[in-house]
Amino acid sequence: MFPTLKTGAVAQYPARRTLQFKTDGIRFLDGTEQRFRDSPSVLHRWTIQLDLLDESELVALDQFFVSNQARFGSFSFTDPWDGTVYPNCSLAGDTYGFQLSAEMRGKATLTVCQNRT
């Protein structure tokens, strides 16, 4: 499960959620095209930007990143917009950066992607 902040939230505002459909197309010799959906469902992607984190929250995110082996692992993620739990998600990248400028002044950004089941 994706770690929560001390407040119980998984994200802070502004947050970003995108929806993606997988559509393919075929172009015929006469120039016309035919498009078709490659998957019946939409995939979600969340960009989680966190500010004003304390050291323990940064450590929890760091441990989560390492334990999931970056984008290799799979975990459940709760959508901050509607509370839906998506059971098969992963991180979008193999790098994780955070910044700690002062006490209680940590920043981190992670992107979570829903995987096809």
Contact status, residue 97 vs residue 108, Cβ threshold 8 Å:
yes
For the chain, the domain total comes to 1
Q: What is the pLDDT of residue 90?
A: 92
pLDDT digits (tens, 9 = 90+) for 40-66: 778 889 988 888 888 888 888 888 888
Structural domain span for residue 42? 16-114
Residue 74's closest CA among 93, 84, 87, 83?
A: 87
The reply to whether 2 falls in a domain is no
Which are the contacts of 21, defined by CB distance < 8 A and separation ≥ 6? 37, 39, 42, 43
The reply to whether 74 falls in a domain is yes
The reply to whether 98 falls in a domain is yes
pTM, two decimals, is: 0.69
- CA 30/CA 52 separation, integer angstroms: 58
The reply to whether 8 falls in a domain is no
pLDDT band for 89, please (50, 70, 90 cuts): very high
pLDDT digits (tens, 9 = 90+) for 32-42: 998 887 767 78
Amino acid at 18: T
- CA 44/CA 18 separation, integer angstroms: 6
- CA 107/CA 1 separation, integer angstroms: 20
The reply to whether 1 falls in a domain is no
The reply to whether 6 falls in a domain is no
Residue 58's closest CA among 6, 108, 117?
A: 108
The reply to whether 102 falls in a domain is yes
The reply to whether 62 falls in a domain is yes
